[in-house]
């Protein structure tokens, strides 16, 4: 059985306060986009994980899909051993939630394949134990996220009439780097209200708090955002803690000058 985990972008990202557990409270809107991995699960004599496509850094035994399997196995003892194969296409370290999507879609795949009978709320609970933004990918619909990103409420947001250009430079930005120089503070504007404004107003009202820190360390990422606006983007932003930057356009276009040094995706949801 195969599913195709998709990426997400952040529309606005406010880092509100530091939590006692070391994490941060945030406010953001997750929006699904059509960059996809592929994940296949078949029964096997022993638990196995393999991958293809983009190289996945780190130890394969630490992959979030395996973490999800062990978490489910604790409560579903009858769950058989499986071979998990992940074909990686979503850029890694780009603020697109690819690893989180893989883990959540794995939970959905296991639920379907082995008839575990879990509702969305139960799957979201498992997903939230794996990563802060994992729960979003269970329903996989535009959502306003608060606290660590796991508290979700669906929002009425449809960008299907627009075109998204996403630029991934050859730069990796760690979360720790992104937090350097960032001072948490309550947001001046309500994201759920700001997204109701005309998209042309987003530029002056919807911000990603990580941009100040990341742009100061990597001016080339800031240049990508500026270039997207110069190309006619109605709104442009870094996604998550970076390093990918997207622009939302009214009409389809190609930006070949970006393609020389960056990975570029032309998206239509």
Q: Is residue 37 annotated as a catalytic residue, yes or no?
A: no
Among the listed residues 8, 88, 108, 207, the single catalytic one is 8
Among 7, 9, 15, 29, CA closest to 246: 9
Q: How far apart are CA 27 and CA 18, in angstroms?
A: 13
DSSP letters spanning 24-65: EEEEEEEEEEEEE-EEEEEE-SS-EEEEEES---S-GGG-HH
Among the listed residues 88, 102, 108, 133, the single catalytic one is 133
Q: Residues 199, 145, 155, 128: is their CA dihedral positive or negative? A: positive
Q: Is residue 133 annotated as a catalytic residue, yes or no?
A: yes
DSSP letters spanning 150-205: TEEEE-----TTSEEEEEE-S----HHHHHTT------SS-HHHHTTS-GGGHHHH
Q: At what angle do helices 210-217 and 219-230 cross, to 10 degrees?
A: 110
Which residues are tagged catalytic?
A: 8, 133
């Amino acid at each position: 059985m195969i599913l195709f985990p998709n990426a997400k972008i952040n529309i606005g990202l406010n880092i509100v306060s530091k939590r006692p557990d070391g994490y941060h409270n945030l406010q953001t809107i997750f929006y699904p986009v059509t960059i996809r991995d592929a994940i296949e699960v078949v029964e096997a004599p022993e638990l196995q994980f393999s991958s293809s496509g983009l190289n996945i850094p780190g130890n394969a035994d630490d992959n979030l899909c395996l973490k999800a399997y062990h978490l489910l196995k604790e409560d579903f003892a009858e769950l058989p051993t499986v071979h998990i194969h992940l074909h990686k296409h979503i850029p890694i370290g780009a603020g697109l939630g690819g690893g989180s999507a893989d883990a959540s879609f794995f939970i959905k795949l296991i639920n379907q394949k082995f008839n575990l009978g879990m509702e969305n709320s139960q799957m979201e609970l498992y997903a939230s134990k794996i990563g802060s933004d994992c729960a979003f990918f269970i329903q996989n619909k535009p959502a306003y996220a608060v606290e660590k990103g796991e508290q979700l409420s669906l929002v009425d947001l449809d960008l299907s009439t627009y075109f998204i250009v996403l630029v991934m430079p050859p730069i990796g930005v760690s979360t720790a780097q992104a937090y350097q120089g960032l001072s948490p503070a309550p947001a001046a504007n309500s994201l759920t209200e700001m997204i109701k404004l005309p998209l042309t107003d987003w530029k002056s009202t919807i911000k990603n708090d990580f941009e100040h820190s990341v742009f100061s360390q990597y001016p080339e990422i800031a240049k990508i955002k500026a270039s997207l606006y110069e190309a006619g983007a109605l709104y442009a932003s870094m996604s998550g803690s970076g390093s990918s930057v997207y622009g939302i356009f009214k009409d389809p276009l190609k930006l070949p000058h970006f393609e020389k040094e960056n990975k570029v995706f032309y998206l239509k949801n």
